[in-house]
Amino acid sequence: MKTLVITGGSKGIGLATARLFAAEGYRVVNISRSPIALAGAVQLGIDIAEPDWAARHGEAVRAAVAGSERIALVHNAGLLTKDSVANVDAAALHRVLQVNVVACVQLDQLLLPLMGAGSAIVYVGSTLGEKAVAGSCAYVVSKHALIGLMRATCQDLAGRGIHTACVCPGFTDTEMLRAHVGQASEVLEALAGNVTFGRLIEPEEVARTIHFCALNAVINGAVIHANLGQFER
């Protein structure tokens, strides 16, 4: 049996990814606070922003993947806040790092003992994992750290037959992006203007990239930019 374990699979890129893997015959296990609209998926209502979530829900997570021959683990959940280095407070930074980085490590540690050869760990990063914009300090820090975590994963799992990659989407038309810009159409149009294709990315496009990474061990340790080509300014 093949199993997809995904965080934040109820919306946007996560939901598109879950649907794609389900169509390919994977059992889908979603970890998020809100339920996933996908028939047959296993829903684990867990808030990974809580630092002790793994201790409290670890057995349920492991039970959900029982019998899996291969596991595709996709770290998709993310928290995007508006802040700057001048005003972000420690508690807010801790929360973003918990969701975007620490929870990934916690879930890796829960599932690695159950992951056989041919399994994969895909981290969903951002173009802000290798550059920055103003007003998103905590998010930028966390996504830079996520690329480091992926590279550490590659080195630490050498010989296990488990590969890893970090897919870094650009401006994707998701609920999170729209909420971040306050649903402002002029801002969304400006973001699309920063892309050589002149449009936002569809979640399904990123899902196909994640799927490709999960199935192809040759890209182990790779950072994959899925951004339609952003203008360099």
Sheet harboring 27-32: ordered strands across? Answer: 42-45, 27-32, 2-7, 70-75, 120-124, 163-169, 222-226
Return the DSSP state at 231: P
Q: What are phi and psi of 85, to 5 degrees?
A: -65, -20
CB-based contact 8:77 (threshold 8 Å): yes
Name the amino acid, one letter, at 97.
L
CB-based contact 198:104 (threshold 8 Å): no
Positions annotated as catalytic residues are 139
**Total residue count of the chain as it appears in this document:** 233
CB-based contact 224:168 (threshold 8 Å): yes
CB-based contact 203:15 (threshold 8 Å): yes
Q: Report the largest interatomic distance among the alpha carbons of the chain, rounded to a whole angstrom.
A: 50
